[in-house]
Amino acid sequence: MKKIAIIVAIILIGIVIFVSSLKKDEKSVVSKPLVSVSTFALYDVSQKLLGQYADVSMLVPFGQDIHSYEMTPQDRIKIEKSKFFIYSGAGLEPWAHNFKSHPNTIEMSQFVTLRHAEDDHHHHKETSIHAFDPHYWLDIDNMILITKKLRDIYTKAFTQEASKEIQTNANQYITMLKKIDTLYKKRLLTCKHDEIIVSHNAFGYLASRYGFHVKALTGFSPDSMPSAKDLANLSDIVKEKGISVIFGEAYMSDRLMQSLARETGVRVDTLQPLANITKSEAQKSDDYSFLMLNNLKKLSSALECR
């Protein structure tokens, strides 16, 4: 009987230790800070900087369009629980302004250089809605500014140990951004064409930085509808300039772009504006660097660069 009692006691002690360890693990997971962001570019840099020290979450799920997204009650709860809520701004996510009073809400557009909507010679009707082009993360200088600002915010908010790693990660991320910039300048230096046709006017920062032009089917918001005159003008440009490829996007219907392609005899490809990524891209763990370089490959081919 004594042996049985001892065995039972040992088993009970083991169970207590096991349950205690589970509670400790559960506590450590629960206590991990949550950082919520609105766009993929902010998600990528935040995730790379914070690493193991925070749970970085895209508020807009992968595979959904940023422009047309509608917040859910769960989103509001997530923001309230977040150590930080970081959104892009510049008119990209009107719904995010509801949380400007939240103490840890940060609008990143105030820390970058924005292009005025008037800088684009098409879709002036949108300037009353968009004072600025909101796709600023496609400019490498702006991404460097974002990285430095988030580095400063995060190092102040986390432990000394975490801050050191965040500093190191930020330096590595900035080095990566500069390499991308160098490759773009090199690959797009000498090209046969200087213009691309896109479905959505999201690539003005890229065009301005690397010396080409963009003609778009719709304006800064993909919800706007082009007129028959817009389509006719783009068709004329494609034919006159000998353009061989036009670009759509994963989150937009390509019906009009396919129609334009049939009329002009060109093919349709996609460019990634990086406001969000598709579920397939997320499953493959595609990041800012990979997608920007993939865009470069397609741009270099479309512009027929040497």
Residues 99 and 159 reside in one and the same domain = yes
Please name the helix (run of DSSP H) or strand (run of DSSP E) that holds residue 171, with its range, or none.
helix 160-187
Residues 96 and 168 reside in one and the same domain = yes
Domain count, the chain: 2
Interior angle at CA 247, CA 246 and CA 249, nearest 5: 155
Residues 105 and 241 reside in one and the same domain = no
Domain assignment of residue 20, yes or no: no
Could you tell me how far CA 242 lies from the centroid of its own chain? 32
User: How sure is the predictor about 130, in pLDDT bands with cuts at 50, 70 and 90?
Assistant: low
The Cα 58–Cα 98 span in angstroms is 17
Residues 84 and 175 reside in one and the same domain = yes
Residues 245 and 147 reside in one and the same domain = no
Residues 38 and 160 reside in one and the same domain = yes
Residues 45 and 154 reside in one and the same domain = yes
pLDDT for 74 beyond 80: yes
Q: In the 8-state DSSP scheme, what is residue 119?
A: G
The per-residue pLDDT for range 108-123, each reduced to its tens digit, is 999 999 998 765 544 4
Domain assignment of residue 11, yes or no: no
Please, which residues bridge with residue 212 across strands?
Answer: none
The Cα 153–Cα 150 span in angstroms is 5
The per-residue pLDDT for range 194-249, each reduced to its tens digit, is 999 998 889 999 999 999 999 998 776 665 677 788 888 889 999 999 999 999 98
Helices 288-302 and 40-50 pack at an angle, to 10 degrees, of: 140
Output the pTM of the full model.
0.85
The shares of helix, strand and coil residues in the chain, as percent rounded to the nearest 5, are 55, 15, 30
Residues 226 and 259 reside in one and the same domain = yes
Residues 273 and 240 reside in one and the same domain = yes
Determine the structural domain holding residue 132 and report its residue range.
34-184
Residues 205 and 241 reside in one and the same domain = yes
User: How sure is the predictor about 49, in pLDDT bands with cuts at 50, 70 and 90?
Assistant: very high
CATH number at residue 244: 3.40.50.1980
Q: What is the residue whose two structure tokens read 């046709």? A: 197
Domain assignment of residue 1, yes or no: no
